[in-house]
Amino acid sequence: MKTFNIAPFEIIIRQVVTSVVVEVAHLDLFNSVHLRIIMRDSNNVDIKLELVTLSGDDYKNWSSDDNYLINYIKQKYGFKDLPINTNNSSEQTPSAQATPSSDEAPIENDATPLSEQTPSSEEASIENEPTPLSE
């Protein structure tokens, strides 16, 4: 297989988010919290990473209820809960799952996938199929 360099070339990949992971990346006590939001597809592959900071009243409203963080993220991105299906047991609770609402398009991912990030645009190249980011 031959790899060759090309001038930077923009591509837009449309992907559907079916679950979201919220992790605390950094906590500045009494001031702010920085959250890592990992959006995953139906194969549980990480497709987008966002960083969100809560400070001021948003941070104060968090208090000790982590559901506040989940609801904050759902509101920020327009995620909706899955309908509760009593015939299907799931590892995740509906509040931990998220899907785009029917009114909205899937997440537009115009950034380089997590598994293909390169140091600079001058080094852009075409390579093998991307390898999913492992957990």
Q: Which CA distances in Å does 130 have to 3, 66, 84? A: 14, 34, 34
Per-residue pLDDT at 15: 92
How many structural domains does the chain have? 1
- Residue 48 falls within a domain, yes or no? yes
Transcribe 99-134 into DSSP letters. Answer: EE-TTSPPPEE-SPPGGG--S-GGG-B--SSPPPPP
Q: What is the mean pLDDT of residues 75-79?
A: 94
- Please say whether the beta carbons of 96 and 7 come within 8 A: no
- Please say whether the beta carbons of 7 and 120 come within 8 A: no
Residue range 83-116, pLDDT digits in tens: 887 665 444 444 444 444 444 445 554 444 444 4
- Residue 37 falls within a domain, yes or no? yes
How many H-runs (helices) and E-runs (strands) does the chain carry? Answer: 2, 7
- Residue 50 falls within a domain, yes or no? yes
Q: What is the mean pLDDT of residues 44-54?
A: 95
- Residue 121 falls within a domain, yes or no? no
